[in-house]
Amino acid sequence: MDTPVCGKLYLVPTPIGNLGDMTPRALEVLATVDLVACEDTRTSGRLLAKFELKKRLISYHEFNERSRAGRLLESLKAGQSVAVVTDAGSPGISDPAYRVVRAALENGIEIVPIPGASALIPALTASGLPTDRFLFEGFLSHKSSARRRRLEQLASFGHTMIFYESPHRVVQTLTAMREVLGNRQACLAREISKKFEQFIRGSLDNILEQIAGTTVKGEIVLVVAGNTEPAREDVADKDTD
């Protein structure tokens, strides 16, 4: 009996808001794969239905990623092609995908990444801050002490920094940034590509003032200027006598 040729693992971005961001290539891939691994089968099911696609779905999220990776690998080895999608954005960017990608690579399976929607790049390019070099930090810890320690580690970083944050923690995070990093220039990007898309630019103090007393909603990206002050080196005086 012939050994089946392994299927391909596709990483397929989905819109972060505007359905017009679903690319023709992404739709073509989703139409042809045998299996779609998704964070929430209901969310992905609705998205596929909008584009009149019917596919076999399997849940693949942070809580079952380790066990599901093995099951997906079995499907790939059996010759089935698999697409990994998230609820919104690119798989693997603060979302599951890493484990199944590693497992596929270790077994000689081809990985095909499809370019597409992601919140961090639009937030960066529209922030007004330098884009030539940057650090994507993702989500800071929800624990205030750990969040502060990480910010202290980043305080000397000399390039633009990008963070994801939830609406109910954004004020605490901005306040911690102000206390640890100083009153740097920043941008709060909210609901990118959606109806209520908003960019609040200015110093950290100014952004905090603008959102004070309001209820911040939606998906949030924080873009913060790096440390532009030259590094200080204390050089001891040498006795030349």
pLDDT tens string 52-82: 999 999 999 888 888 899 999 999 999 999 9
Mean pLDDT of all residues in 195-210: 96
**CATH classification code of 9-113:** 3.40.1010.10
Contacts of 230 (CB under 8 A, 6+ apart): none
Give the tens place of pLDDT for each residue, 12-31: 999 999 999 999 999 999 99
Cβ atoms of 80 and 7 within 8 Å: the answer is yes
Task: Pinpoint the residues of the chain covered by CATH 3.30.950.10.
Answer: 120-224
Strands 111-113 and 220-224: unpaired
Cβ atoms of 223 and 162 within 8 Å: the answer is yes
Task: Pinpoint the residues of the chain covered by CATH 3.40.1010.10.
Answer: 9-113
pTM: 0.89
Tell me the fold of 120-224.
3.30.950
CA 79 to chain centre: 30
